[in-house]
Amino acid sequence: MPELEGKRVFITGSGAGIGKAIATLFTQRGARVVVSDIDADSAKQTAEEMGAVGVANCDVTDEGQVQAAVQQAVEFLGGLDVLVNNAGIEVSSPLLQQSTESFDTIFAVNVRGPFVAMKAAIPHLVAAKGNIVNIASIAGIGGSPLLGSYCATKAALIQLTRVAAVEMRPTGVRVNAVCPGFADTAMVERLVPDFEAATQIPFGDLVAMKQGRLGTPQDIAEVAAFLASDRATWITGSHYVLDGGLTASLV
Ligand code: NAP
């Protein structure tokens, strides 16, 4: 039987990048997926390409939109087994030069977004004994120049994952996080010029030295699929690192 046969899944930020790869792989593994993005065009295109059950868009910074999108997904799917909190943004700036408004914005997307989505989804997940996969980052484990506020948001998301997992354990709902290194998406493309200017090292060389190769969105989707599946029923409160050994190495 396919790994995710019959699972009813809602994925934020799934019009592009890692979210799109998760939506595609989950569908290939038997899940029924509702796609969601702030960009309605990309969500529509992704849903058509991978045969989604439906589209329920939201900007994760707007709690009302998130609640409405989760409700719409539940109506499309007849319930909810898996929430994937994937939507996220980066800000490239030396930490203490970043504007307070921009600091608030990245927290609104990367921390408050998953928080309100978890709250909206939890009654449905409890009913289904489902689970949540939060897309965090190795930036939540170690610091990186230029990514100070991003690192702080991803550390916060790992902590939300742990606490939600422990609090929800009696209900049977599992909550886990995935922590990728640099992966081949538009987000990383946007970061390359600033990283090269700051390090004076070609980004490809940095990646080769630190993590062997750039991750693919599919690498991340594989781990998300495992965590969302019934093969992972004893796994909760965990964060899974996939980074080609970057965080394992002192040099
Ligand atoms: P991406 O290529 O920028 O795609 C992110 C998607 O989320 C886009 O479709 C984006 O729409 C959407 N989005 C942005 N703000 C949103 C909002 N407020 N509400 C709903 N959707 C929103 O990024 P990615 O690289 O796939 O990243 C996906 C997740 O993985 C993020 O949480 C990121 O932090 C995490 N991550 C990425 C990497 C990496 O190396 N790429 C590594 C570790 C963790 P627009 O394009 O219209 O903004």
pLDDT at 251 over 90: no
In a domain, 133, yes or no: yes
DSSP symbols for the chain: --TTTT-EEEETTTTSHHHHHHHHHHHHTT-EEEE--S-HHHHHHHHHHHT-SEE----TT-HHHHHHHHHHHHHHHTS-SEEEE-------B-GGGS-HHHHHHHHIIIIIHHHHHHHHHHHHHHHHT-EEEEE--GGGTS--TTBHHHHHHHHHHHHHHHHHHHHHGGGT-EEEEEEE-SBSSHHHHHHHHHHHHHH-S-HHHHHHHHHSS-B-HHHHHHHHHHHHSGGGTT--S-EEEESTTGGG---
pLDDT at 247 over 90: yes
Of 20, 24, 36, 38, the residue with max ligand 1 atoms within 8 A of its CB, to mutate for a pocket test, comes to: 38
Model confidence pLDDT, tens digit, residues 184-219:
999 999 999 999 999 999 999 999 999 999 999 999
> Is residue 134 very low, low, confident or very high in pLDDT (cuts 50, 70, 90)?
very high
pLDDT at 100: 98
pLDDT at 166: 98
In a domain, 203, yes or no: no
DSSP symbols for 48-69: HHHT-SEE----TT-HHHHHHH
Number of domains composing the chain? 1
Pocket of ligand 1 (CB under 6 A): 12-13, 15-19, 37-39, 42, 59-61, 86-89, 109, 135, 137, 180, 182-183, 185-188
* Residues that are catalytic: 150
What is the extent of the structural domain holding 76? 8-183+216-237
In a domain, 206, yes or no: no
Cβ(191)–Cβ(92) below 8 Å: yes
Please tell me the distance between residue 87's alpha carbon and the centre of ligand 1 in angstroms.
5
Of 12, 14, 18, 91, the residue with max ligand 1 atoms within 8 A of its CB, to mutate for a pocket test, comes to: 18
In a domain, 157, yes or no: yes
pLDDT at 42: 98
Region 223-228: mean pLDDT is 98
The ligand 1 atom nearest the CA atom of 108: 18
pLDDT at 129 over 90: yes
In a domain, 251, yes or no: no
Q: Whose CA is nearest to atom 31 of ligand 1?
A: 88
In a domain, 204, yes or no: no
Q: Whose CA is nearest to atom 19 of ligand 1?
A: 59
In a domain, 148, yes or no: yes
The CATH number that applies at residue 167 is 3.40.50.720
In a domain, 109, yes or no: yes
CB neighbourhood size of 168 (10 A): 20
> Is residue 1 very low, low, confident or very high in pLDDT (cuts 50, 70, 90)?
confident
When the pLDDT of each residue in the chain is averaged and rounded to a whole number, the result is 98
Model confidence pLDDT, tens digit, residues 33-68:
999 999 999 999 999 999 999 999 999 999 999 999
Cβ(227)–Cβ(216) below 8 Å: no
The ligand 1 atom nearest the CA atom of 21: 26
